[in-house]
Amino acid sequence: MAISNYTRTCAKNTPGNAKILITEVANISSVTIDSSNEITDIVMDTTTNKFHELQVKPNTIRRRQEISGKGGVINVKHIISMSFIGLSRALNDLRESIHDALACGLCAIVLDKTTTPKAWLVGWSESNLGDDSLDTIEAEDDTGISSSDEDMGQYSITLSGESGYLDLMIDATQSALIASEDESTTDYCDFN
């Protein structure tokens, strides 16, 4: 197999992520990937099943990939972490729905903060549907002791899963529509 060329772009690197949406893997009917290996469309199994936006504490969404391998075997650990402000009944409902969905696996769309939006699909694999999803959770909440405690009164979640593939980039057109929250054309997303 030939090594691919890589051309560096002279643009500002803007770290961090702006948006996250999640769904159960079983809700996805198909994902269309073009010849550039980018996603051009996602079709859900019904019109009511969608990726749901989670409004998290600003600047707390982190998408990571840890890659290891030897010979022809590659293992990729997909990790998404985020935090929520203010413990509440609605947050408990979200927690319960995530816990219930882990049995079949979750899939996420993460939108980064670059000036040209780039969205990534995490937890989906065409060749191993359902087995390469986000299926592990680590979570904690901490009320803190006093009102001056920094970063307290929040709930933190880390979702992860392992596969043999990298996160898939969603093409520029779909990424821009996700960034603009255009539900008329990204009918697979439910924005807040």
- The total domain count for the chain is 1
3-state secondary structure of 149: coil
Residue 61 forms part of a structural domain: yes
Tell me, what's the pLDDT at 129?
63
- 187, 167, 112, 115 alpha-carbon torsion, rounded to 10°: -90
Give residue 132's domain range.
17-183
**Nearest Cα to 179, choosing from 102, 124, 118?**
118
Residue 9 forms part of a structural domain: no
Residue 2 forms part of a structural domain: no
Tell me, what's the pLDDT at 130?
62
Q: Report CA 21 to chain centroid distance, whole Å.
A: 6
pLDDT along the chain (192 residues), means of 10: 77 84 94 93 93 94 95 92 89 91 94 90 79 89 78 86 93 94 91 89
**Nearest Cα to 33, choosing from 166, 132, 131, 130?**
166
Residue 56 forms part of a structural domain: yes
Tell me, what's the pLDDT at 82?
95
Up-side HSE of residue 88: CA atoms within 13 Å toward CB? 6
Tell me, what's the pLDDT at 125?
82
- 26, 30, 35, 36 alpha-carbon torsion, rounded to 10°: -40
Residue 31 CA to residue 40 CA, distance in Å, equals 8
8 A C-beta contact, residue 42 and residue 188: yes
Tell me, what's the pLDDT at 1?
64
* Identity of residue 93: D
Residue 25 forms part of a structural domain: yes
Tell me, what's the pLDDT at 88?
85
Residue 191 forms part of a structural domain: no
Residue 190 forms part of a structural domain: no
**Nearest Cα to 91, choosing from 136, 145, 51, 55?**
55
Tell me, what's the pLDDT at 17?
92
Residue 5 forms part of a structural domain: no
